[in-house]
């Protein structure tokens, strides 16, 4: 089940570490160039902080949130109307609609759950029958053992 | 010899470029919004590491219902008779609880001798559109509890809810207390009006959840991704610079990629569950106020009496501490405790502090309230 870890040392690693690949050097260089210890990086971090602050401010601005919410809601309602029109059209053509498919799926799920509940009840019945059978056997053994055996005959 | 090796190198270079282009094209075709799918191929090659070994703990599937699977993680040496059942959120996938070797909460608990079970909700599709809280609580979680108890041979278990999974598990515990020995809520939002930015974004006048569910059925992955990336849009891009800088640290790169893999592994949110979740939790706070109804029954958290551990991440922006800590004042449990850790929402399950500082305390709390295992 556990997957094999491929990170870490293979035989070729020390060789590669001495001379990193071009891609590794480019990636590291980019990270270093925009890192907090270089002048470019310091400027980048300052810009990042500024932008984060601006986005945070925007994200908590009531007017902006109402505006975005309004646009989103309009888009969703338009899509809802489109879906309804599509369903009406399919209905006219006597083709199954998405809602009807969902109804069908729900019924199938209900049937599955019902089967599961029934099988659980059946298991209980089988267990009870099994217990009863064992008890019956125990009594039989007990009866046999009264003729001299040391077994108590109590069902397990 | 040199010509051959040069031509081999050239061939391998071209093959590598073709493979790289193919991976990028695939990501673009899928319409992935997360930078992970586009940056990962470069990082894997630059760092010379493989795919992160996620979900490393061996397990068996002991029960399935639709897309849902109940997984069993059996310990080699069982010390506790009371099993643990993890209930994870419907957002993203369960394997954040079984992250990487040595950084897996499930692996840790199994190592402590617990018989561990976890619900994997799978990847919901159109068949799950109509699934509601009733199905989740009264069918799926209920059956998961039943099968976990049956397989472990125990009479009760510790329910361990995480994030929205904690909210669902609390609702379950309020409706079906039988079979529960202890309850652990990790980064679980309860008072949703203290729910940070999500509470702001989903106010009834701003977010028509009915229109969304009626229009799409399930909540589309793109919308979920947009929501998450809007929380910290700049950091979503600039955090990659840290992995660029530490490209020659394979452990860091693997952990980072594992985290990003999980974060970008979004799934559709089943529509009807989402509708009630947004209304009863974020918009009207009915869950916290004891007014939420599931299949005609009221979810009243004050009926919870089992020992409760509430784990809070102090830097959590998804389930802010204020939103979680109220739980201990609502439940009727006499044995209740809050544990606080200086990590973020996900850090509770993935940070390096987990196996050293967080999980031993949590495991100790559960062990103290579990029956010891006796071989029969």
Give per-residue pLDDT as tens, B219-254: 998 888 888 778 778 887 888 888 999 999 999 999
Reported as a pLDDT band with limits 50, 70 and 90, residue B3 is: low
Chain A residues in contact with B59 (beta carbon < 8 A): 1
State the pLDDT at residue B10.
Answer: 84
Q: What is the largest CA-CA distance in chain A?
A: 100
- B247 with A7: Cβ contact below 8 A: no
Distance from CA of B119 to the nearest CA of A (A): 17
Looking at residues B96-121, what average pLDDT do you find? 96
How crowded is residue B229: how many other Cβ atoms within 10 Å of its Cβ?
16
Pair B273, B67: CB distance under 8 Å: no
User: Chain B partners of A116 at a C-beta cutoff of 8 Å?
Assistant: 65, 143
Q: Do B58 and A116 touch (CB under 8 A)?
A: no
DSSP 3-state of B293: strand
Mean pLDDT of B11-27: 84
Q: Mean pLDDT over residues B143-147, rounded?
A: 95
* Chain A residues inside the 8 Å CB shell of B131: 109
Closest in A7, A16, A112 to B50, CB measured: A7
Query: pLDDT band for position B63 (50/70/90)?
Result: very high
Rounded mean pLDDT, B130-136: 94
Per mean pLDDT, which range of B34-38, B177-181, B275-279, B317-321 is the poorest? B34-38
Does A65 contact B250 at a Cβ distance shorter than 8 Å? no
Residues on chain A touching B204 (C-beta within 8 angstroms): none
The whole-number pLDDT of residue B35 equals 84
Residues of B in contact with A112 (CB under 8 A): 65-66
Contacts of B283 in chain A (CB under 8 A): none
Counting beta carbons within 10 angstroms of the beta carbon of residue B127, is it exposed (0 to 12), middle (13 to 18) or buried (19 or more)? Answer: middle
* Chain B residues with CB-CB distance to A34 below 8 A: 241, 244
* The pLDDT of residue B162: 96
B172 vs A60, residue with greater confidence: B172
Mean pLDDT of B99-117: 97
Quick one: pLDDT at residue B143?
94
Predicted local confidence at residue A153, as pLDDT: 36
Q: Please check whether residue B135 touches A, CB under 8 A.
A: yes
CA distance B218 to A108: 19
Cβ atoms of residues B77 and B157 within 8 Å: no
Q: Best of A52, A76, A113 to disrupt the B interface by mutation (most B CBs within 10 Å)?
A: A76
Residue B70's Cβ-side half-sphere holds a number of Cα atoms within 13 Å equal to 23
A contacts of B43 (beta carbons < 8 Å): 27
- pTM, entire model: 0.84
| A113, burial (CB in 10 Å: exposed 0-12, middle 13-18, buried 19+) | middle
Query: Which residues 300-339 of chain B have a CB within 8 Å of chain A?
Result: none
Radius of gyration of chain A (CA): 36
User: If you average pLDDT over residues B260-288, what whole number do you get?
Assistant: 94
Please give the biggest Cα pair distance in chain B. Answer: 80
- What is the per-residue pLDDT for B353? 94
Chain B contacts in chain A segment 114-153 (CB below 8 A): 116, 120
Spell out the per-residue pLDDT of chain A, length 156, in tens.
333 333 333 344 444 455 678 888 888 888 888 888 889 888 888 888 898 888 888 888 889 999 999 999 999 999 999 999 999 999 899 899 888 888 888 888 888 888 887 887 888 888 889 888 888 877 666 665 555 444 433 333
CA angle A1–B152–B169, rounded 5-degree value? 90
Alpha-carbon separation of residue A147 from A154, B333, B365 (angstroms): 16, 57, 56
pLDDT band at B115 (very low <50, low <70, confident <90, very high): very high
Closest CA to B100 of B364, B355, B320, B367: B355
Tokens of A144: 């046999």
Six-digit token string for B222? 């793109």
Cβ density class B105-115: b for 16+ within 10 Å, e for less: bbbbbbbbbbb
Q: Which of B130, B133, B145 is nearest to B176 (CA)?
A: B145
Test A76 with B211 for CB contact under 8 angstroms: yes
Angle at A59 between CA B237 and CA B350, to 5 degrees: 50
Residue A46 C-alpha from the chain's centroid? 38
Of B147, B100, B134, B96, nearest in space to B267 by CA: B96
Quote the percentage of chain B above a pLDDT of 90: 71
Asked whether residue B173 carries a pLDDT value surpassing 60, the answer given is: yes
Q: Is B238 on the interface with A (CB under 8 A)?
A: yes
Give yes or no for A74 touching B (CB within 8 A).
no
CB-based contact B217 A109, cutoff 8 Å: no
All residues at 6 or more sequence positions from B374 whose CB lies less than 8 Å from its CB, including other chains: B81
| Residue B376 pLDDT | 64
Across the interface, do B46 and A23 touch by the CB < 8 Å criterion?
Answer: yes
Determine how many CB atoms are found less than 10 A away from the CB of residue B194. Answer: 18
| Active site residue ranges of B | 163, 316, 345
Residue of chain B whose Cα is closest to the Cα of A37: B245
Contact B223, B31 (CB under 8 A): no
Question: Is the minimum CB–CB distance between A104 and chain B shorter than 8 Å?
Answer: no
Phi and psi angles of residue B312, each rounded to the nearest 5 degrees, phi first: -120, 135
Q: Test B129 with A23 for CB contact under 8 angstroms.
A: no
Interval B296-355: pLDDT, tens:
999 999 999 999 999 999 999 899 999 999 999 999 999 999 999 999 999 999 999 999
User: Are the beta carbons of B53 and A4 separated by less than 8 Å?
Assistant: yes
Question: Cα distance from A16 to chain B (closest Cα, Å)?
Answer: 9
B257, closest residue in chain A (CA to CA)? A7
Written as one string, the DSSP assignment of B128-180 is: GTT--HHHIIIIIIHHHHHHHHHHHT-S-EEEEEETHHHHHHHHHHHH--TTE
Span B196-223, average pLDDT = 91
| Yes or no, beta carbons of A102 and B130 under 8 Å apart | yes
Quote the pLDDT of residue A134. Answer: 87
What mean pLDDT comes out for the span B153-181?
97
H-run or E-run covering B186: strand B180-186
Q: Which of B139, B241, B243 sits opposite A34 (nearest CB)?
A: B241
Q: Indicate the pLDDT class of residue B58, thresholds 50, 70 and 90.
A: very high
User: CA–CA separation, B177 vs B186, rounded Å?
Assistant: 19
Whether A48 sits inside 8 A of B143 (CB atoms) is no
Residue A118 falls in which region: left (phi positive, over 0), alpha (psi -120 to 50) or beta: alpha
Instruction: Give me the long-range contacts of B321-325 (CB less than 8 A, separation at least 24).
Output: B322/B191, B322/B194, B323/B189, B323/B190, B323/B191, B323/B192, B323/B194, B323/B195, B323/B196, B324/B185, B324/B187, B324/B188, B324/B189, B324/B190, B324/B191
Contact B103, B257 (CB under 8 A): no
């Amino acid at each position: 089940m556990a997957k094999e870890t491929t990170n870490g040392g293979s035989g070729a690693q020390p060789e590669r570490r001495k001379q990193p690949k071009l891609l590794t050097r480019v990636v590291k260089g980019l990270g270093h160039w925009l890192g907090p210890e270089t002048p470019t990086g310091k400027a980048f971090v300052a810009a990042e902080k500024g932008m984060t602050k601006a986005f945070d401010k925007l994200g908590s601005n009531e007017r902006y949130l109402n505006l975005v919410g309004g646009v989103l809601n309009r888009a969703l309602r338009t899509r809802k109307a489109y879906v309804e029109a599509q369903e009406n059209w399919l209905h006219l053509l006597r083709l199954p609609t998405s809602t009807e498919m969902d109804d069908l799926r729900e019924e199938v799920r209900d049937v599955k759950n019902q089967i599961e509940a029934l099988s659980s009840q059946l298991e209980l019945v089988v267990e009870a029958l099994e217990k009863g059978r064992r008890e019956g056997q125990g009594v039989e053994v007990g009866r046999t053992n009264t003729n001299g055996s040391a077994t108590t005959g109590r069902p397990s | 010899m040199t010509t051959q090796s040069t031509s081999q190198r050239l061939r391998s270079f071209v093959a590598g470029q073709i493979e790289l282009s193919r991976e990028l094209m695939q990501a673009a075709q899928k319409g992935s919004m997360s930078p992970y799918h586009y940056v990962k191929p470069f990082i894997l090659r630059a760092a010379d590491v493989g795919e992160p070994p996620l979900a490393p703990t061996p397990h068996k599937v002991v029960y399935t219902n639709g897309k849902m699977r109940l997984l069993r993680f059996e310990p080699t040496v069982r010390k506790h008779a009371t099993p643990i059942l993890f209930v994870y959120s419907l957002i993203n996938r369960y394997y954040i609880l079984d992250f990487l070797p040595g950084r897996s909460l499930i692996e840790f608990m199994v190592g402590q001798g617990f018989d561990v079970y976890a619900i994997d909700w799978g990847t919901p599709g159109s068949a799950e559109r109509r699934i509601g809280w009733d199905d989740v609580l009264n069918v799926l979680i209920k059956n998961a509890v039943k099968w976990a108890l049956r397989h472990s041979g125990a009479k009760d278990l510790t329910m361990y809810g995480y994030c929205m999974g904690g909210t669902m598990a609390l609702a379950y515990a309020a409706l079906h207390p039988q079979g529960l020995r202890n309850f652990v809520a990790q980064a679980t939002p309860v008072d949703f009006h203290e729910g940070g930015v999500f509470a702001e974004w989903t106010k009834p006048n701003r977010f028509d959840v009915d229109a969304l569910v009626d229009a799409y059925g399930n909540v589309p992955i793109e919308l979920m991704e947009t929501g998450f990336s809007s929380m910290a849009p700049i950091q979503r891009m600039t955090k990659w610079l840290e992995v660029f800088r530490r490209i020659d640290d394979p452990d860091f790169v693997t952990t980072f990629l594992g985290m990003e893999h999980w974060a970008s592994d979004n799934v559709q949110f089943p529509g009807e569950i989402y509708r009630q979740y947004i209304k009863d939790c974020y918009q009207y706070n009915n869950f916290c106020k004891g007014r939420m109804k599931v299949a005609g029954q009221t979810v009243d958290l004050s009926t919870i009496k089992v020992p409760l551990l509430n784990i809070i991440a102090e830097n959590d922006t998804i389930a802010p501490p204020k939103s979680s800590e109220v739980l201990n004042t609502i439940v009727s449990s006499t044995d209740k405790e809050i544990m606080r850790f200086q990590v973020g929402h996900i850090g509770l399950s993935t940070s390096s502090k987990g196996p050293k500082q967080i999980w031993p305390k949590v495991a100790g709390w559960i062990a103290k309230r579990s029956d010891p295992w006796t071989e029969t």
